[in-house]
């Protein structure tokens, strides 16, 4: 074999090894479920508005119209390691815009596959 051919094959093998070593490892081609902070906040507001009977004593829902009270906001903060600005778990609070410290409905939010999620109530703190 020619020395130049051997060197080019060896160089090709080194480049192939470098590319394979730098490639991210993906198990089974499935990405872990993760969502952005904005998406979690929107999902929490929708869930509270949809399940108004569960939250009617919280003061967040208008008793006459069964809609969320004016200026109700959801604020979520990611828990655990972020992956490209996305989290798997959040701690969220749903509260009026004008509120006292720690007031509101505190929820745990967990992102599931295919855009689904699970919400668990942590606490309800009133004025």
Is residue 89 in a domain? yes
Does the structure show a pLDDT above 60 at 30?
A: no
Tens digit of each residue's pLDDT (9 = 90 or more) over 82-116: 888 889 999 999 888 777 787 788 899 999 988 89
pLDDT of residue 127: 65
**How far is residue 82's CA from residue 79's CA, in Å, rounded to a whole number?**
8
Domain that holds residue 116: 37-125
What does the alpha-carbon distance between residue 127 and residue 32 come to, in Å, rounded to a whole number?
Answer: 39
Asked if residue 1 is part of any domain, the answer here is: no
pLDDT tens for each residue of 35-51? 899 999 999 988 888 87
Does a structural domain hold residue 85? yes
Query: Domain total for the chain?
Result: 1
Residue 46 lies in a domain: yes
Confidence of residue 80 (pLDDT cuts 50, 70, 90): confident
User: Could you tell me if residue 27 is inside a domain?
Assistant: no
């Amino acid at each position: 074999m020619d020395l130049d051919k051997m060197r080019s094959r060896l160089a090709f093998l080194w480049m192939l090894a470098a590319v394979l070593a730098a490639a991210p490892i993906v198990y089974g081609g499935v990405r872990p479920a993760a969502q952005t902070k904005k998406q979690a906040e929107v999902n929490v507001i929708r869930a509270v508005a949809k399940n108004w009977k569960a939250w009617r004593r919280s003061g967040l829902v208008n008793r006459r119209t069964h809609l969320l009270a004016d200026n109700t906001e959801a604020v979520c903060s990611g828990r655990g390691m972020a992956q490209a600005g996305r989290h798997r778990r959040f701690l969220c609070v749903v509260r009026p815009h004008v509120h006292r410290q720690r007031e509101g409905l505190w929820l745990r939010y967990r992102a599931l596959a295919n855009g689904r999620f699970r919400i668990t109530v942590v606490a309800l703190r009133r004025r």
